[in-house]
Structure 1
């Protein structure tokens, strides 16, 4: 599974259009996504102080079946590879969603279902 921290407005738009797309797809040609172990550091670095977030879980096999290419590309600033999704994500590939935000101290936590896996 792949994960995307998304703005609630982008998730709402996806529910209207049937596909998730975000500003990074338009600007960079791909949607940034993470493996489960990368979620919290991504949240800390790029989403601190932001509200109205949603964590999306994408099925990589469903993306492939829909013809959406996923490539893991090295990100030097993080010293690891990240999954880049080269196209809008069909809602059929979205397996689970969770409201996502920091606690009162500003720390992010995985949803209980993911923390247990």
Structure 2
């Protein structure tokens, strides 16, 4: 099973929990959903994007093969390839949700919150 990850603030996710699809806050501006692959890269992205974030942060654990919208791997400014989801994320592709936790100045993948959405 190929897994990709999507970070989302808890307060924002609560608006989408229980729905058939999900779109992040910046979808209209970006045109796709940012995702990442691999836990180490996930933590680096969380440290960079959410460095000053003080609220609760979740990570959506997504089975890539179940995503109905096109997933394209595109190169970012850091030279790495990231999966971008071009369309709504069908929530039945989310296999679990985990809480991200702070360890000093860094984010770590924390406890599992649920098996499915």
Q: CA RMSD in A?
A: 1.7
Give me the TM-score of the superposition, normalised by structure 2: 0.83
Is the 2:98–2:109 contact (alpha carbons within 8 Å) kept by the matching residues of 1? no
Please report how far the alpha carbon of residue 24 of structure 1 lies from its aligned counterpart in structure 2 after TM superposition.
2.4
Whichever structure has more helix as a proportion of its residues is: 1
Please report how far the alpha carbon of residue 28 of structure 1 lies from its aligned counterpart in structure 2 after TM superposition.
1.1
Unmatched segments (≥5 aa) in structure 1: none
- 2:60 equivalent in structure 1: 56
- 1:27 equivalent in structure 2: 29
- 1:80 equivalent in structure 2: 80
Structure 2 counterpart SS, 1:22: coil
CA distance in 2, matches of 1:18, 1:49: 31
4+ long deviations beyond 2 Å: 110-113
- 2:105 equivalent in structure 1: 106
Please report how far the alpha carbon of residue 38 of structure 1 lies from its aligned counterpart in structure 2 after TM superposition.
1.4
1:97 matched to 2:97? The reply is: yes
Whichever structure has more strand as a proportion of its residues is: 2
CA distance in 2, matches of 1:24, 1:55: 16
Q: Any idea what the Cα deviations from partners look like across 1:28-81, whole Å, max 9, x if unmatched?
A: 110000002310110111101312210111111100xx3x10000011x21111
Distance 1:109 1:92, change over 3 A: same
Structure 2 counterpart SS, 1:45: helix
